[in-house]
Amino acid sequence: MTASRRLYTQLAASAAEAASSGSRPLKIIGTVSAVGTALVLVSQWATGVQLDAFKKSMRADLKTELGAVRNDMNDVKTELGAMLNDIKTELGAMRNDMNDMKTELGAMRNDLKTALLGAMERAVTH
């Protein structure tokens, strides 16, 4: 039974009770009691409505905030991915430079060997 239906039922019952008794003070007491009960029920109903609205509002706010956090996390993930790609590119370039240096050092070593062997041959033949 809804709150408004309960309120109507209680008001009707109180009014019927007050009308059936011939005593005026009982009518007043019954009416005041019914009105007091009605006010309590209306207050409880209004509080429930306010809490429900607050809950819906908070849920919407939380969904919005969580969406923003997810977007921020995705942005950070994208930035980290780009940084990782840059690092991989730099490491690849460094590897290439190192291989070039190895090649140059190997050529220099071979040239040095050739020069030393030539010098030794000339020294022996003279």
Boundaries of domain holding 49: 3-125
Rounded to whole angstroms, the Cα distance separating 82 from 126 reads: 66
Structural domain total, the chain: 1
Query: What is the rounded (10 degree) CA torsion for 64, 66, 71, 74?
Result: -170
DSSP state of 21: S
pLDDT given for residue 112 in this prediction: 94
Let me know the angle formed at the C-alpha of 49 by 45 and 29, rounded to the nearest 5 degrees: 15
pLDDT tens per residue across all 126 residues of the chain: 666 667 667 766 766 666 665 556 656 666 667 777 777 777 887 888 888 888 899 999 999 999 999 999 999 999 999 999 999 999 999 999 999 999 999 999 999 999 999 888 888 887
